[in-house]
Amino acid sequence: RKEVEQDPGPFNVPEGATVAFNCTYSNSASQSFFWYRQDCRKEPKLLMSVYSSGNEDGRFTAQLNRASQYISLLIRDSKLSDSATYLCVVIINQGGKLIFGQGTELSVKP
């Protein structure tokens, strides 16, 4: 089993839709969680960290469920510019290396 697994894509949604991605992790010692965004084979960039209490940044909401070992990303009012691949990232030990999920591709259509 992969350490970090994401919803298989692609997700094709119309503009204005709400879309949610899930990511599960297998190591209960995982401590830190992030969502990165990657545009069309360019470099990944940090979208947002995921806090235990959940956090929101504009149209984006991240949630963490430690009991079930998953994190989620919710995008409201999708824009064409949200089209990208979203990468779930986990750090097992504080200060340790990052483990990336395989990514979920989102395509927002007019």
Catalog residues that contact another protein under the rule CB under 8 A: 4, 31-32, 34, 36, 41-46, 49, 87, 91, 94-95, 97-103
Residue closer to another protein by CB (options 9, 13) is 9
Q: Detail the DSSP E strand segments found in 4-83.
A: 4-6, 11-14, 19-25, 32-38, 45-50, 55-57, 60-65, 70-75
Q: For the CB of residue 74, give the shortest distance to another protein in the complex, in Å.
A: 21
State in angstroms the smallest separation of the CB of 79 from another protein.
23
Q: Which is nearer to another protein, 17 or 32 (CB)?
A: 32
Q: Which two tokens stand for residue 84?
A: 């990208």
Q: Is the dihedral of CA 7, 10, 15, 17 positive or negative?
A: negative
